Amino acid sequence: MSESKEFARLIEENQHLKEIIVGLQKQLQESLQGNAQLQTQLSDLQNKLDILITQLKKRNRRDFGNKTERHNPRPAVVESDVATIPPPNKKKHKENKNKHEKHILTQNLPIEPVHHLVKPEDAICPTCIVETVPMGNEITYQLESIASSLKQLQHLQEIRACPKCKQYVITAEKPCSPIPGSYAGPGLLADVVVSKFTDAQPLYRQEKIFKREQAIIPRSTQSNWVIESAQTVKPLCELIKKEILASAVIKTDDTELKVQDRKHIKNMRKGKMTAYLGDRHHKLTAFDYSPDKSFERNKKFLADFKGFVQADAANGFDALFGDGSKIEVGCNAHARRKIWECLTLNNTVCIDILDIYGKLYDVERDIWDKSPEQRLAQRQSKSKSLMEELHAKLLPLQLVLNPTNPLMQAVNYALNHWAALTRFLDNPELDVDNNSCEREIKAFVLSRKNFLFAGSDAGAEAAAIHLTLLASAKRNDLNPIEYLTDVFTRINSMKTSELHQLLPDRWVPAPKQNDSS
């Protein structure tokens, strides 16, 4: 009987131990699950922290750092190498400075002689009491700025009549005014437009500058001049757009522009300004204004175009490439920039990728002035292998990086647009990036920082017209003041069929007439 009780007790203890073991297993399982959840939460928090750190460093770099995206592939200098670095050569720096000053003085600037005569009392030799004779001049040079000045032109149109019949009366012609009924001359209009859109001088600042020259020209008057002169040159602007659409390759980029709108709840809405660059054979640039940020104007502008379109990977441009008439060309500068922005997160990987991009751009610098055949050969022999190496670096990163990691987003950008990014390898007319178009946009952005917004849609459209002429003149190395002055002088007296003579890539200055006075 006692054995059975002992056996029952052992069974009961065994059962109790099993329950304890099951409980412990359950607690262990819950602990492991909780640990896994904690690991997941920790990973998510780490990814969010990486994003915040990246954003902070981006903001600090933007506000306080160097704006260029330079990457130095060379290793940092160690202490042992410091002694081997020669001290700076101050004499060489001084020589370079003098060389630079000589370069300034040898530019193609007009020379105005300024004579300095010896005083009469010093012209007598104190020993011989004889007047000295000239031997020549000691010549030195000095750069001087001559302030611009306003003047009123009094147009005197000669009137002649026949003394016999008294019927024939003829009046001499004068150049057509750029703005009918306005007293603004071509040179003054050109100066206002170039100062606003090229030199980033808002009209209220120009009003102060004119006031220093004893001329009162309110900004409201200048605003009217900008809008009305834009209507004068609008046919020429439309002709530039047609020439650009005849290109085989068009580059495009855009930026937002605030527009004053009294009907809007905030009295302001956002439109955008888009730049279009023609190819090497159509060295012209057009700006187009859209009253909103949609891509409808872009689609309308490029509706009939067939060829290559180089742009960033904005979603709005995807609709352009659906029918196959336009082929997308990517921008490697955008892809590189996204990697460069992650340099603070994953230093080793990003440096390897940036080194490849550095070699790629070294090739581009060597071939930019070569013939199309030479460019194609160099890209096939050098750039193609570099892009393959870059692709091999990017692919494994997709398997190890978290989707929210900024570097993963940079990798996805490059791989998702790989066909567009590598299209330049097989066509020498294509560029490796869209930087030339971005530079045109940047010039407008610098002006926008000063005038802040457009007063109306009409003002924004006028800005697009003037920017078209100024950017096209810049691409053809023209003096914008001289070019616009000549355009404003001649355009109203020309037939529509003759406007091609005023295109910046074909423009020949009108011969200057001698002053009859």
Residue spans per domain, the chain: 184-309+440-512, 331-433
Q: Which stretches in the chain have pLDDT values below 70?
A: 1-2, 65-67, 72-107, 147-148, 345-346, 512-517
Q: Which residue, chain included where needed, has tokens 């016999």?
A: 164
Residues 39, 17: Cα–Cα separation, whole Å: 32
Per DSSP, the residues of 93-157 read HHHHHHHHHHHHHTSS--------PPPGGGSB-TTT--B--------------------------
For residue 62, count other CB atoms closer than 10 A to its CB.
Answer: 9
Contact between residue 270 and residue 259 where contact means Cβ atoms under 8 Å apart? yes
**SS3 at position 252:** strand
Would you say the pTM of this structure is higher than 0.85? no
Q: Angle between the 219-245 and 186-197 helix axes, to the nearest 10 degrees?
A: 80
In this predicted structure, what is the pLDDT of residue 82? 43
In this predicted structure, what is the pLDDT of residue 77? 45
- Over the stretch 149-187, which tens digit does the pLDDT of each residue have? 788 888 888 888 888 887 888 888 888 888 888 888 899
By DSSP bridging, strand 307-310 and strand 326-329 are parallel
**Residue 27 buriedness (CB in 10 A; 0-12 / 13-18 / 19+):** exposed
Return the beta strands (E) in 242-350 as ranges: 249-260, 268-277, 285-290, 307-310, 326-329
Q: Which residue, chain included where needed, has tokens 């909780």?
A: 34
In this predicted structure, what is the pLDDT of residue 237? 95
- Over the stretch 51-85, which tens digit does the pLDDT of each residue have? 787 778 777 777 776 667 777 665 544 444 444 44
Phi, psi dihedrals of residue 137, rounded to the nearest 5°: -135, 140
In this predicted structure, what is the pLDDT of residue 129? 84
